[in-house]
C-alpha cells in the first residue's frame, strides 16, 4: 500500500508500517498544497492512504468516489501517538478507497 504522510503526521510511525511504501507531502513537493489539491495529487500519483493530523479535513472534503482513504490522527505528539501504533496500523491495513478512519490519540 502507498501511504502519504501530510505535514503534521509524525514520520516515526512509519517504523510500524513495514511492508508499505511511505512518502511525505514534503518529499513529493506537495507541502504547500491545500487539502483538496493534496488529495487530488496523491490520488493521481497512486497513493492509497493519506495519514493526516488535520482535524478539519472531514468537513472540507467529500470522500465519496475517491480512490484514496484518509486515516486521521487527532494529535501528532510522538509520545502520545506511539502508544496507539497498533490501532494506526490496523486502520491503515483496513483502509479502502473513500474510507475515513479516526484514531483518537489520548492526552495521557
pTM score: 0.92
> Residue 58 pLDDT > 80, yes or no?
no
**φ/ψ (deg, to 5) at 49:** -140, 140
User: What confidence tier does 61 reach under pLDDT thresholds 50, 70, 90?
Assistant: low
> Residue 18 pLDDT > 80, yes or no?
yes
CB distance 47 to 30 below 8 Å: no
The domain ranges of the chain are 2-103
User: What confidence tier does 14 reach under pLDDT thresholds 50, 70, 90?
Assistant: very high
pLDDT at site 56 = 80
Q: What is the mean pLDDT of residues 42-47?
A: 96
pLDDT at site 66 = 85
CB distance 33 to 45 below 8 Å: no
Amino acid at each position: 500500500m502507498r501511504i502519504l504522510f501530510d505535514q503534521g503526521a509524525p514520520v516515526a510511525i512509519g517504523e510500524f508500517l513495514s511492508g508499505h511504501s511511505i512518502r511525505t507531502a514534503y518529499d513529493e513537493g506537495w507541502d504547500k498544497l491545500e487539502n483538496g489539491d493534496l488529495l487530488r495529487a496523491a490520488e493521481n500519483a497512486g497513493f492509497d492512504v493519506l495519514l493526516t493530523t488535520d482535524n478539519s479535513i472531514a468537513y472540507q472534503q467529500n470522500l465519496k468516489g475517491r480512490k484514496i482513504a484518509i486515516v486521521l490522527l487527532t494529535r501528532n505528539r510522538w509520545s502520545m501517538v506511539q502508544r496507539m501504533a497498533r490501532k494506526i496500523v490496523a486502520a491503515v491495513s483496513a483502509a479502502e478507497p473513500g474510507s475515513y478512519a479516526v484514531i483518537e490519540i489520548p492526552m495521557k
